[in-house]
Amino acid sequence: MTTWTNWLGNESASTTELHEPLTTAQVVECVERANYRNQRVRVLGSGHAWSPLVPVEGILLSTKRMRAIRSIDAAQRQLTVEAGATIRDVVAAAGAYGLTVNSPSMFLGLSVGGVIATGSHGTGRNSATFGDEVVGFELVTPDGSVVQVSEPGSDRWRAMLCNLGTLGVLTAVTLQCHPMFNVHEVHQRVDRGEAAAVIPTMLAEHEFVELFWVPPAAYVKFKLGNRTDKPPSPVRGRIHPTLGDRLMAATGPVLPYVASVPGLVTPLANLVYDRIGTGTRIVTAPDFNHYNQAYPLCISSEFAIPLEHAPAAWRWLDTRLGRYADAGVRPVTLMVHARFCRASQGFIAPSSGRATCHLEVLSFKGNRHRHLFAEDFETKMRTEFEGRPHWGKELYNPAAAAKGYGANLDAFLEVRHELDPTQRFINPFLRDQVFGLARRPRSTRARAATAA
């Protein structure tokens, strides 16, 4: 029996075995062994998800040793990496060939497999999820066979784009890269009350838009960017952490206490905003994307809402959190963060089928007021703004999480059932609370697959 705990310590699992295979062949061996012993399997990425996607009573299969860059096709600008490689590995490998990847997560320590599984994303008008950049998947299916999924647009490919680790073990992916480009980065502070109104303008004028607010600070910060041909200036502390980053990480446990002192909110907001960046400069795309290496112990909740709802949703957040602040309550102690992306093709990617604003609230771990707001946030985003929660972040209402996908969810579950009719790769949380499989009649196709 092995105990696994995620990075924050809010999720843990006691499993029979934890395997760390090095090759696809070893993954196949593990899956076959699980089949032989009739055990459930879940795949581990870097363990950064807040939601209970991992816990299972069975075998945990970590891809952390599968980090090889298998090949780079410079002509096609395609990079094939193993699923355990981190975003940092990918960014560095692509960079060495003058390439960059689209929509990587801001934090570089996440595994490629985990980022794809949860439909994670970066920011940018031309970016969907990181998974949408994949042109080929190598998958060890629940029956132990190795298949290539490389028909973009097919049902199986669309299911793979955000798969929650329920289709088998993703062992490698081929990513479509792009020529390295530079970004003209601009940081702009806007009065809190005006932020919602200027969002459309910012989106119209900039390819990359991010919005930060440390409530109840009086102003918000826009991080804006447009492509440029001008040469970049070197920036410290982006892809590779500086001493300052490491110190920030070390002071992480102190921040919640600092944040709880009302008089220190403004200095803290300044500190946070400054760490994100200041002024104007030209940077490479990776330097633009990966601006923060110190991730304090916090809990994040994120909803993907249609782009057109972004101003109204931001306005609601501003008002609601402002009211809490007036009452002396701070349910969001770190920040509110918005990113803007194009539609994903993934069946159950939160940004599936629509240009999206990803609205995220982050609180330090241990904030006792967090739950006061979490329900408000979840209900409002879901019911009024058609929000879909980020799978890897806190799922406050798991039963409602899958409801916003309509026919896409059925299509995803059909593919899943085809690949995993015995439900070996799905954990009870996803099966019972999120998908409610035991309350869904089996489709004819699924029944036929089971019978076969």
Partner 1 sequence: MVQYDRTFAPFVVPATLPMDLDSLPDARWMAKVLPNQVRGVVADVFSHVVDRMPDRIRRAGAGRMLEQWFRRLVPEIPGRIPTLGDAEFAYQRFAGINPVTVTRARAMGDVPEKLRLPDAMLSPLLGSEQRLAKRVLCGDIFVQRYDALRGLSSTTLQGGKFAAPGNVLLCHAPELDAPFEVVPLAIECPVDRADGATAVFTPLDGSSWAAAKLLMGVADVHIAELCLHLARGHFMLAPFAMAMRRMLHPRHPLHEFLLPHLRFNLFVDLFAWRSGVRETSGILIRTLAGNAAWAQQVTKTEHTNHPYSDIAFERCLERRGLLDDRFDYPYRDDGRLVWAAVQRFVQAWVEHTYPSARTLAADAPVHAFLADAGSPEGGNVNGLLRGARLDSREELIEILTHVLFDAGPLHSMSHYSLAAHLQHVDESPAFLRDNPLAVATDDREQVFGTRRSKGQLGRVHRTYAAYDRLGDYRGSALGRRADLRPMIAAYQEELRIVEAKIEQRNLGRLAPFIHLLPSRLTNGASI
Selected from 19, 40, 42, 121, the binder of partner 1 by CB under 8 A is 40
Counting contacts by CB under 8 A, is residue 417 touching partner 1? yes
Selected from 1, 243, 451, 452, the binder of partner 1 by CB under 8 A is 1
Residue of 323, 413, 338 lying closest to 369 (CA atoms)? 323
Selected from 153, 441, 444, 451, the binder of partner 1 by CB under 8 A is 441
Counting contacts by CB under 8 A, is residue 446 touching partner 1? yes
Counting contacts by CB under 8 A, is residue 20 touching partner 1? no
Sign of CA dihedral 445, 449, 450, 451: positive
Which amino acid is present at 200? P
Residues within window 194-213 making contact with partner 1, judged by CB under 8 A: none
Q: What is the smallest separation between the CB atom of 440 and partner 1, expressed in angstroms?
A: 5
Contact 233, 288 (CB under 8 A): no
Taking the least distance from each CB to partner 1, the nearer of 374 and 381 is 374
Taking the least distance from each CB to partner 1, the nearer of 341 and 446 is 446
Taking the least distance from each CB to partner 1, the nearer of 269 and 426 is 426
Owner of token pair 């061996």: 29
Residues 334-373, one symbol each (x = binds partner 1 by CB under 8 A, - = not), give -------------------------------------x--
Taking the least distance from each CB to partner 1, the nearer of 254 and 261 is 254
Q: What is the smallest separation between the CB atom of 437 and partner 1, expressed in angstroms?
A: 4
Selected from 16, 228, 270, 379, the binder of partner 1 by CB under 8 A is 16
Structure tokens that stand for 123 in this block: 């920011």
Contact 295, 6 (CB under 8 A): no
Distance separating the N- and C-terminal Cα atoms of the chain: 34
Residues 41-80, one symbol each (x = binds partner 1 by CB under 8 A, - = not), give --------------xxxx----------------------
d(C-alpha 104, C-alpha 98), whole Å: 16
Radius of gyration of the chain (CA): 21
Residue of 118, 122, 208, 133 lying closest to 165 (CA atoms)? 118
DSSP 8-state secondary structure symbol assigned to residue 124: B
Counting contacts by CB under 8 A, is residue 403 touching partner 1? no
- Provide CB contacts within 8 A for 41, sequence distance 6+: 30, 31, 34, 56, 58, 59, 60, 61, 142, 169, 424, 425
DSSP 8-state secondary structure symbol assigned to residue 430: I
Counting contacts by CB under 8 A, is residue 438 touching partner 1? yes
- Provide CB contacts within 8 A for 289, sequence distance 6+: 104, 106, 122, 123
Half-sphere exposure of 257 (CA within 13 A, CB side): 4
Among the listed ranges 161-169, 328-336, 387-395, 438-446, the one in contact with partner 1 (CB under 8 A) is: 438-446
Counting contacts by CB under 8 A, is residue 143 touching partner 1? no
Selected from 307, 314, 439, 444, the binder of partner 1 by CB under 8 A is 439
Counting contacts by CB under 8 A, is residue 38 touching partner 1? yes
d(C-alpha 36, C-alpha 156), whole Å: 26
Selected from 399, 403, 406, 445, the binder of partner 1 by CB under 8 A is 399
Counting contacts by CB under 8 A, is residue 433 touching partner 1? yes
Structure tokens that stand for 88 in this block: 């940092």
Taking the least distance from each CB to partner 1, the nearer of 40 and 330 is 40
Counting contacts by CB under 8 A, is residue 407 touching partner 1? no
Counting contacts by CB under 8 A, is residue 379 touching partner 1? no
Q: What is the smallest separation between the CB atom of 10 and partner 1, expressed in angstroms?
A: 10
Which amino acid is present at 419? L
Counting contacts by CB under 8 A, is residue 437 touching partner 1? yes
With H, G, I as helix, E, B as strand and everything else as coil, classify residue 17. strand
- What number of other Cβ atoms are within 10 A of residue 173's Cβ? 27
Residues 263-292, one symbol each (x = binds partner 1 by CB under 8 A, - = not), give ------------------------------
Counting contacts by CB under 8 A, is residue 23 touching partner 1? no
Q: What is the H or E stretch that residue 35 is in?
A: helix 24-37
Answer whether the bond into residue 142 is a cis peptide, omega within 30°.
Answer: no
With H, G, I as helix, E, B as strand and everything else as coil, classify residue 45. coil
Taking the least distance from each CB to partner 1, the nearer of 5 and 126 is 5
d(C-alpha 161, C-alpha 305), whole Å: 19
Taking the least distance from each CB to partner 1, the nearer of 76 and 422 is 422
Residue of 182, 178, 181 lying closest to 282 (CA atoms)? 182
Taking the least distance from each CB to partner 1, the nearer of 54 and 134 is 54
* Residues at the contact surface with partner 1, assessed by CB under 8 A: 1-3, 5, 9, 14, 16, 36-40, 55-58, 371, 397-399, 413, 417, 422-423, 427-429, 431-433, 436-442, 446
